[in-house]
């Protein structure tokens, strides 16, 4: 028997015959609509229309809590070819409110595939649309900006759908982290069995691979709900505090800013990712603002402003930090430098504090999905925790 003979048969979904597909419509808040076919669950979904340029990693994308209340459009036309499995979930469930694919794969062919994408969406009750011109839709969003959107395969009357889209909530001012955060604290054990560092992680919408990446380096990660206070975090006597990614508008997360203020005052090392970068920025006194259409995908070049090194990184953000790209900013916590800048549009992609042990990045070193260029940032966090211990004389 050859190796090929032993491969599992591809999973194929029974599909309706020609002409039997169900009509679906995608409607944008400015009245532009796109006709397509129902994909996943039949029904109706509303959210902010955003596009992702990742060609792979769709399972990690749809299960990333940062996409809560967003309808994700994949710019790569062919999605679903490796199916879906139980292990690549980045959270407990599918988080996107809707999913848009030009040309879903008719079969799922991978030794790891357990179900097709179509049936996974359907089982989860997540509404999708396929067969529409995703290139035209993406170009429209690039010109006009991310906007509210609705998908319907239930009621495809354009006028009434537009009314429902315009009545749906937008993303500016949306406080969504508590909606996706863990209800109860939990612990991710250090991989070695011997914890070297204890990390208190504020779950603002954390992805599974983030505590796992730290656990690989010997961290015992205590994950706490979004509204935990500084006292809750510090009660663990952590070596460091981690602030996760998360959905919604960072300008609405005053509770996280208050928590972080207490942590910075206590002198505990801090590392933040994405939403966590925005929360650190706000705590330092910087503002956040909404990008026209955001950065989403796994092929985003970022420059390290100190070394000049360029990393290709994974992004998923619609908001960004406003800070001077060069020089040092004076803040209530001392001097702060912009450590990383996006090469496509000069957006701030990271901050480093010079006078307190804190730094953050807007992109995703946990790389799920994504390239591994930025993984060293978890080592940098461990280095910061080690240095802080030594400084306190207990290292």
**Shortest distance, CB of residue 293 to ligand GLN, whole angstroms?**
11
Give me the helix-helix angle, 209-216 and 376-392, nearest 10°.
Answer: 60
Interface residues toward ligand GLN, by CB under 6 A: 66, 245-248, 250, 274-275, 316-319
CB of 282 to ligand GLN, least distance (A): 12
Burial group, residue 13, by CB count within 10 angstroms (0-12, 13-18, 19+): middle
Least separation, in Å, of the C-beta of 294 and ligand GLN?
Answer: 6
Annotation says 78 is catalytic: no
* Angle, alpha carbons 272-277-280 (nearest 5°): 90
Identity of the residue, 162 or 241, whose beta carbon is nearer to ligand GLN in the bound complex = 241
CB of 185 to ligand GLN, least distance (A): 20
Question: Does 248 carry a binding-site annotation?
Answer: yes
Choose between 68 and 140: whose C-beta lies nearer to ligand GLN.
68
Quote the tokens at residue 70.
């967003």
Closer of 80 and 318 to ligand GLN (Cβ): 318
Task: Evaluate whether 172 touches 319 at the Cβ level (below 8 Å).
Answer: no
Catalytic choice (274, 295, 315, 317): 274
Contacts of 242 (CB under 8 A, 6+ apart): 199, 200, 201, 202, 210, 214, 221, 270, 271, 272, 273, 276, 381
The answer on whether 318 is annotated among ligand-binding residues is yes
Alpha-carbon torsion, ordered 120, 274, 391, 328, to 10 deg = 170
316 is in an annotated binding site: yes
Tell me if residue 166 falls in helix, strand or coil. helix
Q: How far is CA 187 from CA 46, 224, 234, 245, 248, in A?
A: 34, 9, 15, 18, 25
* Cα–Cα nearest to 213, from 103, 374, 346: 374
315 a catalytic residue: no
* Of residues 48 and 220, the one with the C-beta less far from ligand GLN: 48
- Assess whether 366 carries a catalytic annotation: yes
286 among the known binding-site residues? no
**Is residue 66 marked as binding?**
yes
What are the tokens at 183?
């209800």
Tell me the closest approach of the beta carbon of residue 362 to ligand GLN, in angstroms: 8
Q: 172 vs 196, which CB is nearer to ligand GLN?
A: 172
275 is in an annotated binding site: yes
The residue annotated as part of the active site, out of 68, 315, 317, 364, is 364
**Cβ within 8 Å of residue 230, ≥6 positions away:** 258, 259, 260, 261, 262, 263, 265, 266
Q: Which of 120, 149, 366, 382 is catalytic?
A: 366
Positions marked active-site? 274, 364, 366
Could you list the residues known to form a binding site, using ranges: 66, 246, 248, 275, 278, 316, 318-319
Could you list the residues known to form a binding site for L-glutamine, using ranges: 66, 246, 248, 275, 278, 316, 318-319
């Amino acid at each position: 028997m050859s190796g090929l003979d032993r491969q599992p048969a591809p999973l194929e979904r029974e599909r309706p015959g020609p002409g039997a597909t169900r009509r679906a419509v995608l409607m944008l808040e400015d009245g532009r609509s796109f006709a397509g076919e129902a994909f996943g669950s039949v029904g109706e979904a509303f959210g902010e229309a955003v596009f992702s340029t990742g060609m792979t990693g769709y399972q990690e994308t749809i299960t990333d809590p940062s996409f809560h209340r967003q309808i994700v459009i994949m710019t790569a036309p062919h999605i679903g070819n490796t199916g879906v499995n139980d292990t690549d979930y980045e959270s407990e469930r599918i988080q996107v409110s809707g999913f848009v694919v030009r040309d879903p794969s008719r079969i799922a062919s991978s030794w790891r595939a357990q179900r097709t994408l179509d049936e996974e969406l359907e089982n989860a009750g997540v509404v999708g649309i396929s067969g529409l011109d995703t290139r035209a839709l993406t170009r429209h969003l690039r010109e006009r900006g991310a906007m509210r959107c609705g998908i319907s395969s239930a009621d495809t009357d354009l006028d009434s759908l537009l009314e429902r889209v315009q009545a749906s909530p937008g993303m500016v001012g949306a406080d969504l982290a508590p909606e996706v955060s863990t209800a109860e604290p939990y612990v991710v054990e250090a991989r070695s069995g011997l914890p070297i560092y204890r990390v208190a992680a504020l779950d603002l919408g954390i992805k599974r691979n983030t505590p796992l990446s730290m656990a690989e380096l010997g961290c015992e990660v205590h994950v706490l709900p979004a509204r935990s206070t500084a006292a809750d975090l510090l009660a663990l006597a952590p070596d460091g505090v981690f602030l996760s990614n998360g959905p919604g508008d960072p300008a609405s997360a005053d509770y996280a800013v208050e928590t972080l203020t207490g942590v910075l005052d206590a002198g505990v090392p801090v590392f933040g990712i994405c939403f966590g970068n925005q929360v650190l920025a706000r705590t330092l006194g910087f503002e956040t603002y909404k990008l026209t259409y955001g950065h989403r995908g796994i092929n985003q070049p970022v420059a390290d402003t100190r070394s000049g090194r360029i990393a290709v990184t994974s992004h998923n953000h619609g908001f960004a930090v406003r800070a001077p790209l060069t020089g040092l900013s004076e803040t209530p916590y001392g001097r702060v430098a912009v450590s990383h800048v996006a090469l496509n549009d000069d957006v701030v992609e990271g901050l480093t504090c010079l006078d307190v042990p804190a730094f953050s990045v807007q992109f995703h070193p946990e790389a799920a999905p994504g390239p591994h260029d930025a993984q060293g940032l978890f080592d940098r966090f461990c280095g910061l925790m080690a240095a802080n211990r030594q400084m306190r004389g207990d290292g």
